[in-house]
Every structure is written in structure tokens, then in C-alpha cells.
Structure 1
Amino acid sequence: MKRSAVRPRKGPPLYFSFVFLFYLAFPLTELFSRPVGELVIGLLVLAVFTALYLYSSKVNRGRLISVFLQLIIIGLFCYRYNAGFIYMAFYPSPIIGLISSRKQMYVGMGAMVALFIAVGLYYQLYLSANDMIQIVPAMLVMLFLPFALRLGQKSFELREKLNLANEEIARLSKNEERQRISRDLHDTLGHTLSLITLKSELAERLIVKNPERAAQEVKDIHATSRAALKQVRELVSGMNAVTVRDELVNAKQILAAADIVLEVRGELAESMASPLADNILGMCLREAVTNIVKHSKARTCTVEWRGEPDLLHLKVSDDGRGIDPAAGVTDGNGLNGMKERLKLVEGDLSFAPFKGSGTSVTFTVPRVTKSME
């Protein structure tokens, strides 16, 4: 199904947000040094602060209001206890960067700056060099975090849009190639096959009445079928046929981008396979490498080429996580598509999934194909 738009991320994973709750140990230490009544109230307020933080880290709706409430709680803690509670602003700071509206983000930034100024003036931090050295760098980091997070989010969305664009281009290219092949088949073979049909009907009628004329028509049919065969060959040769050698070059680049090492074993001698078999093996190799990149999580991909007097074997294996045969995924569309291609040259496919120890697929084609003439 075509995806028409990129939905921005709602925030970091929830477990990531929980990790940062560890730093609440510092305000908790301060609260536990207070009387019981004040401790209970402080813990309730801190629980509200934590709930607001977790909610706003995952839900876009009401983020600005949540940021305001978190900043108010931080201000109250700073006013009631000490200026060290200003470090709690590290929690709403990244939330500000997740706000979808740029205007609201700047409003949240302004509120956080106002909190910093108010705390600084209340405790006269500007009069102490030590306080300035400790708190000002942290404040600058908290002010920088929203911009950094927003920049990362924009970069992620751009990559998603680029991937969608590439997928759409690939889809349109495939459709155009199908339409081109359909037009070529219709234009090159439609007239010829119609002519063969007409001459066959005519020869059938002339067998009894005029055997010599019927024999001539049969000869014409034979010549016309040879011409049709030649047209098919020209059509196939005119396609953008892939070869095993070409696909090995492409596979090396694709695997390198996925941090997978390619190892090639055996000699890819010229003319070991017919052009059609070479084309089919190239497409099968492309499909196998694509599956390795997408699903295997492998570190090494091995392509082994082995020839026998009557057969050629192309084996593609990896050292990834493998596939559990009990999962019933060994007959997917990818494998079925490769099997159908190989049937065109009387080839075969063997698949060996090993859970936890990689996957191996071997393509086998005859060295000598049957003549079509």
C-alpha cells in the first residue's frame, strides 16, 4: 500500500523516558530530609511532575500546558527548598523540542528562560562565581536541547520522505517497464501470431482441395514462426537484463551500506550459463541479497559459484539470525518468485533455514539449455 505522508515521531521510546527518572533521586534525597507532613506533600507534587513528564513524552496533545505545569512545579521547589531544583528543567526541556508548533515551542522556551531568570534573581546567583560556573552551563544545555531534538526529528522526517520518494520511483519504474514490455509484445508478436493463425486455417482448408498450396502455406507458417522466435529473442536482448557479475557489484555496495561483508567463492567464468539463465540467476541473487539486508542481521554474506558437467550452482548464505522452519515462512512470495523464474530454464531452488545460525539458498540451473528452434 502506498504511504502518502510521513507522521512525525511522538517522542522517544517510553523506556527511554523511564531511564531519566533515575535522576529524580536527587530531589527525593532533599524531600526525605524534611518533616513527614512536608515529605508527603512533596512526594505527591513530585508524582504529578513525573506523570506530566511521562504523558507529554508520548502524547503530542497538550504538551505546552504540560511544560508550563512542570516549570511551575520546578519553580515551587526552587522557591521552597533551594536553587538546585533548577536541574529538574532537564525533564521539560526535550519535551519543548517535541512540540509540533514552532510558535508554541518558542513560548515554552520563553517560559523556561523566565524560570531561569527568576531563580537566578531570587537566589542572586549572579553574585557568586561558583554558582554561575555550576548552573549557567546546565541552563545553556537545557536551552539547546529543544533545538537539537527538533533538528534530529526534522532529519528523521526528511529521511522518511526520501525513502518514500525512492519507493515511489521504484514502483513507477516497474509499472513503466511492464507497460513497455506489454507494448513491445503486442507490437512485435501480435501481427505475427495473427498471421500464423490465418495461414493455419487456410492450410487446413486447402489440405484436400489443393495439397500443394497447403504445403506452401505450412512452409510459410514455419518461416513465420522462426521470425516470431527471432523477434522474441530481440525483445529479450533489448531489455535491461541483469547478470550475475553485475549483481555481484551491486550486492557488494548494498551489503557494505548495511555493514555486511561480502565473500565470493569460485570462479565466475564467462559463458558458463546461457544469457537467459545468467539473467535469471542475477535476479535471484538480487532478491536473496535484498532479503539478507532486510531480515538477517548478518555480518557476513557468502556467494559461492560452483560448476558441474551438466549443472551450475549459485549458493547465497549468511551468518545471521536465521529462520525457524516451524514458523512457516519458507514459502513466501520472494522464494516463490525465484522458483517461478528458475522454472523458465528448468532450474531449481533449495532453501535451508537454520534458526540462530544463518540461512542458505542454492540456485541450480542446467549448463546446457534446450534449443528453442
Structure 2
Amino acid sequence: MMYRLVFSQVLRRLDAEAVHRFTVSALALLARLPLVKRLLHRALAPHDPALRVTAFGVHFPGPLGLAAGFDKDAACAEALSALGFGHVEVGTITAHGQPGNPRPRLFRLVRQHAVINRMGFNNAGAVAAARRLRRTRSVPVVIGVNIGKTKVVPESEATADYVASAKELAPLADYLVVNVSSPNTPGLRNLQAVSLLRPLLTAVKEVADATPRRTPLLVKIAPDLADEDVDAVAELALELGLDGIIATNTTIKHDGETGGLSGRPLKARSLEVLRRLRAKVGDRITLVSAGGVEDVDDVWERLLAGATLVQGYTGWVYGGPLWAAHIHRQLLRRVRRHGLKSVTEAIGRTA
């Protein structure tokens, strides 16, 4: 309630990207305070065994995580874990650092509980992110690393660019995500075509498979793919032995500022793509649902539809710092109310 008041009276009047930068800086400071982190983690992180989920050999304390796009440079993952997220996906990270697109490039649509961004993969690059990921952690956190194409790299050299990032980051990640679905890097979504995606994923998978623990590899797709293209990506993921698919990224099907739309308007299509993927792949690979996740009802619905993990970002923007902790507590109550021993028993029940 307090956060809603602060948001409506103060935060919504401030520049969205300025608030984002301030929040990342504050959480990065928190990440350097081990005692405070541990206290917050004890109070807010999911600890009950009934919430634990295992996906592609990785153990998650709870199914709800933070989607890529917030912690672009792996600066504050521990602090985010302490606030209640079951995993944190950092990035998108490119092989070479880049400033991203010109400002303004981040816009709130408050009435729709949505955000439009055209950030353009602004980040300091794979080497800088790897340096941060090597730091000793004082609280447990599952970190996924999301990699994308450097803007100046031509499409013909995209595979080599992704491979360069993977070589730096795959050994440090709990799982690796190939992002070919952001609308804010010119030509990137072309890589979702199976003819281009197959050699790219094959090359990155070779790197991920060669790490000491074999880093799980996932691909993230757009909600704007035609249904037959969703099916084609699902078949490719099975063919190549990928560990999972994240569905979905932002959509360009809107009437607002140029960029990708996230939040409530994406809810229906994201759920539709999840159900289509589940029908295609069953439980043979892990499905991660993102897009329009706002509350425990959304998380529960995605689990029932076949998602093993769920991610949010825009929901957190409007829900406040305790959003993930609150949802995990509500989810635990729901698991018990349904007489289940574990949240994993709910996965795929309506698929």
C-alpha cells in the first residue's frame, strides 16, 4: 500500500530510466553489505521446501524469478535474491559494450500497467559482466545470463558474436539464454528463423556443453511469432537438445512509442504461446513463462499451463520491492490449500 502511494505521488512523475538507474545503484550498494543482505534474504527469500523447483539440473528456491532487462550488467543479483526472487536473469549482455539507443527510451503506461522500452542492449559488455559474476556471493542466488547480438555486428557474423559472449559467460552462469527476440536491435528478430537459428544455437550449445558443469542453454522467443514459427522453434529446440524455451519477450504490436511493450497487455498472448509450446514439447524441455505476470493468480496459471519457472519484470515495477516475496508467500498458501506437497505437483495440470 505504501509503495503504491509513493509510486502514484512521486515515482510516476520522474523519468523512468532515471528511476531505473537509481534503483540499480541502490541495489548494487546493498549487494556490498553482506550482513544486511543476509538479514533480508532470511526474511524475504523463499525457504519452504514446498516451493522448490528443479529445472535442467538446477535447484531453484521458488519458481518466480526476475526477467532479463533490469540487471543488465550483473550488478545487483544478490540483492534481488534477498528481496525474494527465486532466480535472477541478468543482461541482455553483448560481446562488446555499447551505449544502446538514444534517450528517451523507457516509457511507463501507468493505466495499462505496462512499459515500453527501446533500450537497445545498453551494457558494458561480456568481459565486464564476467568480472562481476566472479565475485564471491554472501547469499545464495541462481543466476541466468541472457546474451544478445552486438548492434554493430552484421547478421552474417552474429553466430561468432554470440559465441564470444558465451565463452566469457557460460562458465559463470547457472543457465545461459540466447536472446533473438528483442525488437530494439535492428535485424535481431530475423535470427528466430529456423534456418538462421539452427547454426547459431548449435555453436553456442557447443560452448555451453564444454563448461565444467555443462551450462544449460535456453532460447528466448518473441510473442509476435506466428503460431507455425512457434512450433518450428519448439521442434528445433527438441532436435538440438536445448534445455528450455523462455516465452515471451516484449511485443511490437501496439500503438505507443516505438519499442517493445511489456506488462499487462502481453498477458493473453504470452499464455497462449506457453500453452502452444507445452502441447508441442510436453515436459521434454523446460518452459519458462514471462510476459504480463502481475500476481499470484498469473504465476499459478502459468504453472498449471506447463511452465516450470515464471518470470516478471513490469509487474515488479508496479508492485514494489516486496512483490516477489509477497507472491511466493501467497503461492505457498495456495499449494497448501490445494493439498499439494510441492508446487511442482501443479506444473502442467491443465496442459
Q: TM-score, normalised by structure 1?
A: 0.22
TM-score (norm 2): 0.23
Q: Name the structure with the higher strand share.
A: 2
- Return the index of the structure with the highest Cα Rg: 1
Is the helix fraction higher in 1 or 2? 1
